[in-house]
Structure 1
């Protein structure tokens, strides 16, 4: 008989199982926007400096700061410098009208904002030569130096970085159109059970619609996995074995991970346990509620995770084990944000079991429970925005007590 494994120990076992998958995966080159949410495969070094040239931070006048004494100076107005132009060098005794983002002319080392000029408007070039009175300015004022953001040849993004809008924007600013990301992992997701039918089919007495497939596939896609679904497997172990072997063999259809839901407890018709009788898979209790029964190992060399069949149990299993293991091994998805929140009600939890309740965290920093502890409460799960973590050594919590919550 297995002594219940701790949540932390089981999560570490999943990390160790998936580490072998990571070692065997390659990289792919994709357009920038297709990299959103994926992990960068290699270090990226800046092919150019940003900014690529010194430019103005303000609308104003580009000047030679040494030509303006403490009392100010009157300078002749040179040709204006619009953004996108390559300006002529600034001649001594001149100030060049310059727009925000425009290239600083050679010879200029500062910009005086238009608001500080007299007159405080740009002159009309069609009116002929004009002059402007400007106050003193320190060298470098309102000048964005070349490379002040990042210099050519320096590390822009490290391998493993999760690619979000800001990271993709940086690569675009560097002129890149593609990026190397880690090849997505393929997971076979199999729902089991004679009692389960696909949504849209006829619902006869004693049967239920499959929500697990949708719950887990959506979660897996959100986590960056490529999901393969083959429909529902009934309670015939030989049929389940044939299905799994089709995707475990080295072939075009082969997958990196197999995940099943249902059939992992100790009942008489636990199809997953029966099918795995000759495989290197352990079925063991984890000291967690819901989601205690778990399967973990390899099916003909392919990492295998067997989740319980109740909807909340299978989702909690994914959130507590597979998702954080992927974050640890692959770098994506980002870990769930962890917060501390105050309970809006009293709670009781079973001794020795890490309980995960579904809750809603409000703007006032309190969390109220959604539904009870039951693993079938899908409606309550849909209302929740957080998983409330209650450690196994805690049995009673009062209103106002702080708890850890994982934001969904």
Structure 2
């Protein structure tokens, strides 16, 4: 029986890196960087204020307190979006808004809350859109040097790498790129994945079930997992349990990777195994539970992964085998290993690496999502799980307090 690590190594060796393409920032969400994104500018591009308040020379208001406020003349009004202001005149302050450029000579910002304009003289209206240059304000709290100052380039400097090769672009990464002035990016092309659920017993959701039939959840599961991974997905029409029809359907796939479910075990009607064994696809048991029967190979030049038919087996096999293949295709590194403490115990099959859908408690401990553990037909239990606990093949029982691996169930 092949180990999980060996099987994954064989699987990832079947695929190649996809070519890069240039896309606009607006089209980059979910893509993986093929070249680093570098900042077009210093960020912030100029010294600016982190608060609504007053730009001051700190030494001139160092004695300010609630009991002995320091009165200062307001020499300028600086809203956000204004051009570079005049240097701050000695003995004065400038009213300044969050994000506005700090005038030369100022070395600290006094928040409006630390002045009488907030406490009541003129009320809050004294800090609204009316220009207050030429009036005065009393400082009631002495600021530290550089208080509430955002210095030019303190986030990144022009030319700095903002996002590294292999970064998957989520909302936070997109915002970082935008703040650095990045308008276009080089990203890996999206993998094209064709999925096919097999079995004469499968019926589309919403249709009446005949005796002996079940609803097809695997087609939805594989398609949505691949889509969540950033792939462009084609759902192939089901071919039933006819080997020749199955080969014909697979021949229509135009994809970088084909993923099937069902028909890979040792039964008399295991259609995928009957159709593809000897055609470049090898079928062998893998030391994992669930998901022991697996098929892997290249069909007419296209890598193909043949997963078991039980839904939990499909979910586990996709996360363990297919996801690393897709990451290899787009140049995304494998996630760092994660661990959790078991809140309760359960049995594990000796000699096979076990994957159990688990719930994660608020204290970080985990427990099986259902009393069925990792039994591979419990499709509804997947909705209750937040991750898979990973139990090594050498372990036959997990006890409360043991450390187990943790693999997120989502991409």
What is the CA–CA distance in structure 1 between the aligned matches of 2:334 and 2:227, rounded to whole Å? Answer: 13
Q: Deviations over 1:26-59 (max 9, x none)?
A: 3241443x42222123211111221111111233
Q: Alpha carbons of 1:50 and 1:241: their partners in 2 closer, same or farther (altered >3 Å)?
A: same
Q: How many residues align structurally?
A: 393
What is the CA–CA distance in structure 2 between the aligned matches of 1:128 and 1:316, rounded to whole Å? Answer: 67
Q: Deviations over 1:104-143 (max 9, x none)?
A: 1233333334455567678868888444565876653332
> Does the 8 A contact of 1:343 with 1:403 survive in 2?
no
Q: Deviations over 1:200-238 (max 9, x none)?
A: 334222222211101111111111111101221122222
Match of 1:26 in 2: 20
Alignment of 1:12-161 (within 5 A): 12-18=9-15, 20=16, 22=17, 24-32=18-26, 34-65=27-58, 68=60, 75-86=72-83, 87-117=85-115, 129-132=134-137, 140-161=146-167
Gaps of 5+ in 1: 248-253
Q: Alpha carbons of 1:212 and 1:336: their partners in 2 closer, same or farther (altered >3 Å)?
A: farther
Q: Which is further off, 166-175 or 143-152?
A: 166-175
1:185 aligns with 2:191: yes
What is the CA–CA distance in structure 1 between the aligned matches of 2:63 and 2:380, rounded to whole Å? Answer: 74
Q: Deviations over 1:315-346 (max 9, x none)?
A: 2111111123434553559849833122424x
1:304 aligns with 2:298: no
> Does the 8 A contact of 2:38 with 2:180 survive in 1?
no
Match of 1:251 in 2: none
Q: Alpha carbons of 1:76 and 1:229: their partners in 2 closer, same or farther (altered >3 Å)?
A: same
Q: Alpha carbons of 1:402 and 1:138: their partners in 2 closer, same or farther (altered >3 Å)?
A: closer
1:173 aligns with 2:179: yes
Aligned-partner SS, 1:359? strand
Q: Alpha carbons of 1:311 and 1:65: their partners in 2 closer, same or farther (altered >3 Å)?
A: closer
What is the CA–CA distance in structure 2 between the aligned matches of 1:127 and 1:236, rounded to whole Å? Answer: 83
> Does the 8 A contact of 1:262 with 1:310 survive in 2?
yes
Match of 2:382 in 1: 381
Q: Alpha carbons of 1:287 and 1:127: their partners in 2 closer, same or farther (altered >3 Å)?
A: closer
What is the CA–CA distance in structure 2 between the aligned matches of 1:362 and 1:221, rounded to whole Å? Answer: 28
Q: Deviations over 1:214-265 (max 9, x none)?
A: 1111111111111101221122222222222222xxxxxx210011111211
Q: Which is further off, 112-121 or 281-290?
A: 112-121
What is the CA–CA distance in structure 2 between the aligned matches of 1:168 and 1:142, rounded to whole Å? Answer: 26
Match of 2:67 in 1: none
Aligned-partner SS, 1:232? coil
Alignment of 1:206-225 (within 5 A): 206-225=212-231
> Does the 8 A contact of 2:38 with 2:182 survive in 1?
no
Alignment of 1:265-344 (within 5 A): 265-327=265-327, 330-331=330-331, 335=335, 338-344=338-344
> Does the 8 A contact of 2:191 with 2:330 survive in 1?
no
Aligned-partner SS, 1:80? strand
**CA deviation after TM superposition for structure 1 residue 292, in Å:** 0.5
Give the TM-score normalised by structure 1: 0.86
Aligned-partner SS, 2:294? strand
**CA deviation after TM superposition for structure 1 residue 313, in Å:** 1.4
Q: Alpha carbons of 1:270 and 1:69: their partners in 2 closer, same or farther (altered >3 Å)?
A: closer
Q: Alpha carbons of 1:284 and 1:137: their partners in 2 closer, same or farther (altered >3 Å)?
A: same
Alignment of 1:241-260 (within 5 A): 241-247=247-253, 254-260=254-260
> Does the 8 A contact of 1:212 with 1:311 survive in 2?
yes
**CA deviation after TM superposition for structure 1 residue 290, in Å:** 1.3
Gaps of 5+ in 2: 65-69
What is the CA–CA distance in structure 2 between the aligned matches of 1:126 and 1:227, rounded to whole Å? Answer: 58
What is the CA–CA distance in structure 2 between the aligned matches of 1:289 and 1:337, rounded to whole Å? Answer: 19
Match of 1:6 in 2: 3
